[in-house]
Amino acid sequence: MDFRRTDDIEEALASLAELGSDAQVLAGGTDVMIQIQRGELDPGTLVHIERVDSIGEITENGRLTVGALATHLELSRHPALLDRYPSISYSASLVGGWQTQAVGTIGGNVCNASPAADLLPPLLVHGARVLVASQDRGERELPLSDFVVGRRSIAREPDELVTGFSLDPVEEGTADSYRKVGRRGAMEVAIVGVAVRLSVDSGATIKEARVAVCSVGPVPFRATAAEESLIGLTADSDEVAAAGQLLLEQSQPIDDARATARYRTMVLPRVFESVVTDCYLRATGPLR
């Protein structure tokens, strides 16, 4: 196995154009190195991009853009995320221990495409768009929901590099929240994860709802039916429970080493109702 290290994005793109599917992009390596050790990946060349500073920044120009090399630790502490995208900051703080958070990146977490990835539901509810670049075709962007297409499967061409993620603006009266269930409180893969973003009007009625979940299907996904059913409600409405059932109908929980499908089926609606209530209080009250 060969190893190439670069601190220049053009050089990285040139390597990917040359090597194609024989290359494996490497940044923090918290997922890639384990998968190589297990024999799940066998690349001819590792293209190490951790020092490419131009794709590690968090900037704002209408939409907030998070560079692909921003670490989980940076996400958990950045003022703009803490203030307006707290579900992203919080979910980043749940990814492994501090060692993983210090080197693991948002780009690596998304490209790993785990069905249980904590960052994906918050990114989905904030309308994340994935920014990718190649030497020959230039730049393009696509919705995160179109980028993650299956377990460990993404819509990235072999010569492309993910450079960042663009998030929807957050208007007044909008709040978000994320919660996960695991077998223990820290350093645990999610059994169920739920993110909610709500916008309320002057009468404290929900005018927009976004719901996304992980670990209850082959990919994290937006729960469109549950979202639509929340419009026009208040969080104390009995109809919130009905929205939870719609979420359950869209889910495909399975049995695995962490939990049974039956357990996930029982837990998911309860977690959903709890997150909706928390998010609603943040959108309407002093928690926001």
pLDDT computed for residue 288 by the predictor: 47
Reading the chain (288 residues) residue by residue, the pLDDT tens digits are: 899 999 999 999 999 999 999 999 999 988 899 899 899 889 999 999 999 989 999 998 889 999 999 999 999 999 999 999 999 999 999 987 888 889 999 999 999 999 999 999 999 999 999 999 999 999 999 999 999 999 989 999 999 999 999 999 999 999 999 999 987 655 578 899 999 999 999 999 999 999 999 999 999 999 999 999 999 998 777 789 999 999 999 999 999 988 999 999 999 999 999 999 999 999 998 654
How far, in Å, are 47, 118, 206, 275 from residue 175 at the CA level? Answer: 38, 18, 11, 11
Q: What is the pLDDT of residues 146-172, one digit of tens each?
A: 999 999 899 999 999 999 999 999 999
Q: What is the CATH number of domain 174-284?
A: 3.30.390.50
- Three-state DSSP class for 93? coil
pLDDT computed for residue 193 by the predictor: 95
Q: In which residue are the tokens 């904030």 written?
A: 126
* Beta strands at 153-154 and 192-200: parallel, antiparallel or unpaired: unpaired
112 within 8 A of 31, measured Cβ to Cβ: yes
Q: What is the DSSP string of 140-209?
A: EEEEHHHHEEETTEE---TTEEEEEEEE----TTEEEEEEEE-SSSSS---SEEEEEEEEE-TTS-EEEE
**Residue type for position 21:** S
Domain boundaries defined on the chain: 2-35+57-167, 174-284
What span, in angstroms and rounded, lies between the C-alpha atoms of 121 and 35? 23
Whole-structure pTM value? 0.94
Instruction: Tell the CATH topology of 2-35+57-167.
Output: 3.30.465
What span, in angstroms and rounded, lies between the C-alpha atoms of 3 and 246? 48
Q: What is the pLDDT of residues 231-262, one digit of tens each?
A: 999 877 778 999 999 999 999 999 998 899 99
pLDDT computed for residue 186 by the predictor: 55
By residue count, the chain amounts to 288
